[in-house]
A and B are shown apart, each in its own frame.
Chain A
Amino acid sequence: MAESRKIYTSQQYYANFEGDAGNTPANFKGLGYYSRTSLEDIINNFIVAYIGEDKALAKVPRYEVDFWAQRGMQEFSYDILHSEKSVEIELGSTLQFPLPQDYVNYIKVSQVGEDGKKDILLPSRKVDNPTAPLQDGDHNFLYDSEGEVQVAAKSTAITRFQDPNNPANRTRSLEDNYNYDDDDFPYLNKRYGSNPEDMSGAGTFFIDNEAGVIFFDSTFSGRPDNLIILDYISDGIADNGDLSKVYVPKLAEDALYAYMLYNLSKLRPSTVQLAPLYKKEASSKMRNAKIRLSNYKLEEMAQVLRGKAKWIKH
């Protein structure tokens, strides 16, 4: 059923929030449902409005419309829709956790501060988790019974990255830096030419996409409150078994129709001549959708710019 109208009474709509199970509708679509529409509705609307005799597309099988609707949903999820997902995970002593099942790419990784706000963490670009073949005392590879090279569960590189007892990972305290009596500390050699990227005391992380694991450095070891938030994007169709539960913001609905029309028309000899026109339309509507969903508010922007205008006294 189309969602372009209110489908609940006010009492039904607020019942779930108010804990009124008796009046909560079955399959309640959730608060704020009116801002989005389902992919199922979009596909049905598209078939009605665009496909048929004397229409933009004469005959297109439903599964092809489904395909391009889902491809559109994937592309829109990557750079138009604000459909970020977020998980809060308490970091264990292994200093690593698996990526979510529907993970495609990360937006940011942050640690939860005592005030509940997010402290952004930056990735370490100089770390890798290479495949590490097992070697014997003569540095020859070790093989399993099937003749394949045996590999270590974790590379030495990432082990050293996470080892809190590794002297190279020790964080210098302020007192260390300014203790002129301690001649063992080579501050005179190391402070000059140091790279700010490597000096963050907040800690860094490394994502091994092949293994599907995110590793954190030894800075996190022993911290009392290691709450990590991973903000990531998915492709929006992880649950595509039922397209009525895949939602698209209404602000991007028209852009998705245009995207589907362009891609379906470019494949057909009878409509390929119009494809460039549809391409322009799709491009401009996608841009419009992106601007709409960027959610710029004049007052918020003015507030940010006010902050920029402050004199920085030092």
Chain B
Amino acid sequence: MFENEETISAGTFSNAAGNTTSSYYAYPSNFFRLGTVSTNAIHASEVSSQKILYLNRSPLTKPTVNNPVYVRHEGGVVMYPTAGITSIDINYIRKPAEVKWVGGTAAGQVVANLSASDYQNFELHASEEHELVVKILSYAGVIIRAADITQAAAAKEQQIIQSER
């Protein structure tokens, strides 16, 4: 449900000490977990920062534009070879969008304004609706300091867990 793809252009990364890393491709802001990395429809393999040192010294395994590799780096990846590649395509799992129920109350009920430009519903499968409602109930009980509501929510949650086994 949250698989995503994005094309990223090359950039640089600078750390607090002032070291700059080139051939750096930063993850998108909604990035959660990395899937595959490719460039020009050629799959890039992941290697460790130690392995790349050996690969670069071996004439038979030195990365080329047609056989690229990448190393994970803070908030992104570094592609090898460092020259000849200008953009990469990454396949990744993104974070769910932040929920925004813009609206107000009607007859004492919170009602979402579905037509608001920044309206954002929960990005969950319909089968998870019950669990979500119970969680909301539990946290609501905590907020209004109603222990019986929290307990009722916890009992319902246990019931859901039991039924799923």
Interchain CB contact (< 8 A) of A61 among B47, B60, B66: B47
B116 to chain A, nearest CB (A): 46
Q: State which size class the interface on A falls in.
A: 10 to 19
| Contact, CB under 8 Å: B47 / A66 | no
B124 → chain A closest CB, angstroms: 30
Q: Does B61 touch A at the CB level, under 8 Å?
A: yes
Contacts of B47 in A (CB 8 A): 61, 63
Decide: A62 and B45 in contact? CB cutoff 8 A. yes
Chain B contact-residue range equals 10 to 19
Q: Is the CB of B61 within 8 A of A242?
A: no
On whether A243 and B60 interact (CB within 8 A), knowing A61-B45, A62-B43, A63-B45, the answer reads no
Residue contact B67 to A71, C-beta cutoff 8 Å: no
Complex: A40 Cα to B60 Cα, angstroms: 13
Is the Cβ of B69 less than 8 Å from the Cβ of A63? yes
Bound CA–CA A237/B59 (angstroms): 10
Chain A hits for B147, CB < 8 A: none
Instruction: Please give the residue numbers on chain A whose beta carbons come within 8 Å of chain B beta carbons, in ascending order.
Output: 40, 61-64, 66-67, 70-71, 237, 240-244
CB-defined A-B contacts under 8 Å, sample of 21: A40-B66, A61-B45, A61-B47, A62-B45, A62-B67, A62-B69, A63-B47, A63-B55, A63-B63, A64-B61, A66-B60, A66-B67, A67-B60, A70-B60, A237-B60, A240-B59, A240-B60, A241-B66, A242-B64, A242-B66, A243-B67
Within the complex, which residue of B58, B61, B64, B69 is in contact with A241, where a contact is CB–CB below 8 Å? B64
CA distance A201 to B119 in the complex (A): 96
Identity of the chain B residue whose Cβ is nearest the Cβ of A61 in the assembled complex: B45
User: Which residues of A are found within 8 Å of B58, using beta-carbon distances?
Assistant: 67
Give the 8 A-B residue pairs with the shortest CB-CB distance, closest first.
Answer: A62-B45, A70-B60, A63-B61, A61-B45, A67-B60, A67-B61, A241-B64, A242-B66
Cβ-defined partner of B66 (8 Å) among A67, A237, A244: A244
* Separation of A257 and B29 alpha carbons in the complex (Å): 43
Q: Are A63 and B66 in contact (CB under 8 A)?
A: no
Q: Which residues of A contact B60 (CB under 8 A)?
A: 66-67, 70-71, 237, 240
CB proximity to A under 8 Å, residues B20-72 = 43, 45, 47, 55, 58-61, 63-64, 66-67, 69
Which residues of the partner chain A approach B69 to less than 8 Å between Cβ atoms?
Answer: 62-63
Q: Closest residue of chain A to B69, judged by CB?
A: A63
Chain B residues with CB under 8 A of A243: 66-67
Contacts of A61 in B (CB 8 A): 45, 47
Please, which residues of chain B bring their CB within 8 A of the CB of A66? 60-61, 67
Nearest chain A residue, comparing its CB with the CB of B58: A67
A contact residues around B43 at 8 Å (CB): 62
- Please indicate the chain A residues that have their CB under 8 angstroms from the CB of B55 in the complex: 63
A69, closest chain B residue (CB):
B60
**Complex contacts, A237 vs chain B, CB 8 Å:** 60
Distance (Å) between the CB of A22 and the closest chain B CB? 28
Compute how far the CA of A70 lies from the CA of B61 in the bound complex, rounded to whole angstroms.
9
Cα–Cα, bound, A71→B58 (Å): 12
Measured between beta carbons, the chain B residues less than 8 angstroms from A64 are 61
Q: Nearest chain B CB to A113's CB is how many angstroms away? A: 40
Q: Which residues of B contact A62 (CB under 8 A)?
A: 43, 45, 67, 69
Distance in Å from the Cβ of A2 to the closest Cβ of chain B?
14
B41 CB, nearest partner CB in chain A, Å = 11
Measured between alpha carbons, how far is A64 from B59 in the docked complex, in Å? 13
The docked-state distance in angstroms from the alpha carbon of A61 to that of B45 is 7
Q: Which of B113-165 contact A (CB under 8 A)?
A: none
Cα-based distance from A15 to B58 in the complex (angstroms): 40
Query: Which residue from chain B places its CB closest to the CB of A66 in the assembled complex?
Result: B67
Q: Which residues of B contact A241 (CB under 8 A)?
A: 64, 66
C-alpha spacing A237/B55, complex, angstroms: 17
CB distance from B80 to the nearest CB of A (A): 10
